[in-house]
């Protein structure tokens, strides 16, 4: 059988402002009101490698969120965007500068893109960004597994290897499925899953943006749901949230029977994805496509 080619599509996204309702307050799990900071938009001072718990924020992502004003176009933008896709600013003071897709969040609402801090300071809400999408439909490195939300070339960035019929993945933590909150029951090409964890828990205390995590008994091939002896692997794309049922977000990239994975829980020694590696990889991909 001939190899099936992955289709690349150039898309347009807009730098997000972030939105708040008519009431400034949200309510945390103990009933205390708080003002949500960093929930969408362009967030400065938060980077890949930072702890998900270190900042006063709500779902804050390390970089910029991209949206589209037409809802259906926004869903396509979010659905097609994959980790490692190159993004190039088209308008405004940062025109011409390049970054990369990290992940996605919310019901087909936002793509999270990483730029260097000097680019982020020049970006303004409404700036247009070209996104070279590529990756959905790509075959997983092993039969029986499902891959999504990641440019084929980016898998090596995550240190994922095939050995002896297993997919070897090093992760910060392996979490049981009840930790999965908002996002459960939703299609994983559109949503991330929020982890209901806090800074006190041993397994997740050292969780950082860009980390890989594994979730046991979770089948995330389409909608995410409970299935015994399955495994899903994803990347941490945004920080913690005080809201009950919410928390650090994971964009799923691999899912399949647990027996096909060899998960290495690295704990404090885990090194997640770095801004520099992600952006330079996306640049290389961009050159090859060009």
Partner 1 sequence: MKVTSNVDHLLTQVLAGEVWPPLADRNAYRIDPDGRAFFLPGMGGVTLDVHVGDPATGYAGDHVEPGLSIRHREPGANYALQYLSCIGNRVEVTSGPAKGASGFVIGQHAYVLVDMDSDDMCRVSVGDEVSVFAVGQGLALDGHREVVVKNCSPALLTALAGGTTAAGQLEVHVSAVVPPEAIGAGAGMASEYANTDLMGAYAGLGEDLSLGLESLCVGDVVALSDQDHRFGRGYRQGWTTIGVISTASCLLYGHGPGPSSIMSGPVSAFKVVVDESANLSSFNLEQVRERT
In the complex with partner 1, which residue's Cβ is closer, 65 or 224? Answer: 224
Q: How far is the CB of 105 from partner 1 (least distance, A)?
A: 12
Would you call 104 helix, strand, or coil by DSSP? strand
Q: Give the Cα separation of 49 and 26 in Å (integer).
A: 27
Q: 39 pairs with which residues across the strands?
A: none
Q: Give the Cα separation of 170 and 262 in Å (integer).
A: 9
> What is the SS3 string spanning 151-212?
CHHHHHHHCCEEECCEEEEEECEEEEHHHECCCCCCECCCCCEEECCCCCCHHHCCCECCCE
Radius of gyration (Cα) for the chain, nearest Å? 18
Q: How far is the CB of 84 from partner 1 (least distance, A)?
A: 26
Residue 231: CA atoms inside 13 Å, Cβ hemisphere, count? 21
- Check residue 90 for interaction with partner 1 (CB under 8 A): no
Q: Which residue of 109, 133, 136, 182 would you call a contact of partner 1, by CB under 8 A?
A: 182
The count of chain residues that interact with partner 1, using the rule CB under 8 A, is 34
Piece in contact with partner 1 (CB under 8 A), picked from 37-45, 159-167, 215-223, 278-286: 215-223
- Check residue 181 for interaction with partner 1 (CB under 8 A): yes
Q: Which residue of 180, 189, 231, 233 would you call a contact of partner 1, by CB under 8 A?
A: 180
Sorted by sequence, the CB contacts under 8 Å of residue 160 that are 6+ apart come out as 141, 167, 168, 169, 254
What is the 8-class DSSP label of residue 2? P
- Check residue 221 for interaction with partner 1 (CB under 8 A): yes
Q: Give the Cα separation of 191 and 251 in Å (integer).
A: 7
Compute how many other C-beta atoms are within 10 angstroms of the C-beta atom of residue 271. 14
In the complex with partner 1, which residue's Cβ is closer, 14 or 230? Answer: 230
Q: Which residue of 24, 45, 178, 267 would you call a contact of partner 1, by CB under 8 A?
A: 178
Would you call 276 helix, strand, or coil by DSSP? helix
Q: Which residue of 230, 231, 255, 273 would you call a contact of partner 1, by CB under 8 A?
A: 230
Q: Give the Cα separation of 196 and 74 in Å (integer).
A: 27
Site for partner 1 in 195-214 (CB under 8 A): 196
In the complex with partner 1, which residue's Cβ is closer, 23 or 118? Answer: 23
In the complex with partner 1, which residue's Cβ is closer, 53 or 179? Answer: 179
Q: Which residue of 124, 137, 226, 259 would you call a contact of partner 1, by CB under 8 A?
A: 226
- Check residue 243 for interaction with partner 1 (CB under 8 A): yes
In the complex with partner 1, which residue's Cβ is closer, 30 or 288? Answer: 30
From residue 157 to residue 176, what is the string marking binding to partner 1 with x (rule CB under 8 A)? -------------------x
Name the site residues for partner 1 (rule: CB under 8 A): 27-31, 176-186, 194, 196, 217, 219, 221-230, 243-246
């Amino acid at each position: 059988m001939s190899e099936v080619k992955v289709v690349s599509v150039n898309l347009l996204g807009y730098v997000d402002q972030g939105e708040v309702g008519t009431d400034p307050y949200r309510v945390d799990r103990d009933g205390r009101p708080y003002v949500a900071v960093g929930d969408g938009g362009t967030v400065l001072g938060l980077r890949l490698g930072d702890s998900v718990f270190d900042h006063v924020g709500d779902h804050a992502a390390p970089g910029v969120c991209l949206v589209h004003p037409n809802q259906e176009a926004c869903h396509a933008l979010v659905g097609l965007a994959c980790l490692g896709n190159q993004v190039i600013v088209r308008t405004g003071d940062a025109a011409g500068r390049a970054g990369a897709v990290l992940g996605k969040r919310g019901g087909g609402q936002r793509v999270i893109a990483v730029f260097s801090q000097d680019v982020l300071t020049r970006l303004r809400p409404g700036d247009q960004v070209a996104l070279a999408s590529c990756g959905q439909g790509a075959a997983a490195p092993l039969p029986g597994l499902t891959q999504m939300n990641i440019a084929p070339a980016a898998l090596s960035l995550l240190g994922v290897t095939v050995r002896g019929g297993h997919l070897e993945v090093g992760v910060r933590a392996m979490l049981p499925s009840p930790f999965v909150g908002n996002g459960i029951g939703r299609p994983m090409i559109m949503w991330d899953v929020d982890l209901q964890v806090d800074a006190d828990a041993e397994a997740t205390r050292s969780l950082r943006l860009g980390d890989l995590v594994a979730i046991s008994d979770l089948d995330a091939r389409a909608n995410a749901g409970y299935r015994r002896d399955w495994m899903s692997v994803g990347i941490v794309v945004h920080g913690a949230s005080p809201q009950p049922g919410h928390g650090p977000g994971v964009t799923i990239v691999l899912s399949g029977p647990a027996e096909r994975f060899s998960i290495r829980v690295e704990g404090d020694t885990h090194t997640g994805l770095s801004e520099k590696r992600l952006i330079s990889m996306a640049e290389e991909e961009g050159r090859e496509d060009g």
